[in-house]
Amino acid sequence: MSVEALLISNIVLWVVVLGLGLMVFGLVRQIGVLHERVAPMGALVTDRGPEVGEMSPRITINDIYGKPVDFGLPQAGGRMRLLLFVSPTCPVCKKLLPIAKSFAAGERLEVVLVGDGEAAEQRRMIEEHALEQITYVNSPQVGLAFQVGKLPYAVLIDEEGVLRAKGLVNSREHLESLVIARETGYGSIQAYLKAKGYIRKDEGSVAESA
């Protein structure tokens, strides 16, 4: 009886192991599908500002140190420009500042931080996060020109002054997807979802997947 009981217990154990294996396989597959659907190919666009592919609004605003910054004009040296709209009272914005600094260290991209508030608060944030080497503009005019309503928000402008990508950002992946928008062809997460068939082009709603 003991031998039969051991044999039965081994069979039951293998059945359980195989069952768990199938469950894990199914979960991994579903995670892969979910990752594809929410992959940060561009940021979420929620406004009606300048469209991707259009020329950027052309305005000139002094940075926080009084140096003029021209928005929308072709950039010398073939550099793209990443505008990151931030606020000292935005925790997610502060999380992205070290990432913006790492981007600014590259040669192909100029990072411009854009704030809108008390100059003293902006300067404290600059000192706290050691942002002295990054262009920092404190003016509501830039946000109005791009119709920014929520933060943190980013806009990518190429070397010719063309808006290549824009949207709400809350992670390194979102920022990176904006920077490589020209290579991927997706200027926003909506563009990515439309290309994958999750949003119907005629209705702009999320389509049911097969």
Render 99-161 in DSSP notation, one character per residue. HHHHHHTSSSEEEEEEE-S-HHHHHHHHHHTT-TTSEEEE-HHHHHHHT--SSSEEEEE-TTS
pLDDT of residue 32: 45
Average pLDDT, stretch 73-96? Answer: 88
**What are the distances in angstroms from CA 162 to CA 61, 66, 151?**
18, 25, 22
**Confidence at 67, pLDDT banded by 50, 70, 90:** very high
141-191 pLDDT per residue, tens:
999 999 998 899 999 999 889 998 898 998 888 888 887 776 666 656 556
Q: Where are the domains of the chain?
A: 1-38, 59-196
pTM for the full model?
0.69
pLDDT mean over 44-67: 84
Per-residue confidence band for 25, with pLDDT thresholds at 50, 70 and 90: low
Give domain 59-196's CATH architecture. Answer: 3-Layer(aba) Sandwich (3.40)
Residue range 24-34: average pLDDT? 54
pLDDT value for 105? 84
For residues 133-144, average pLDDT? 94
Residue 149 φ/ψ, nearest 5 degrees? -110, -20
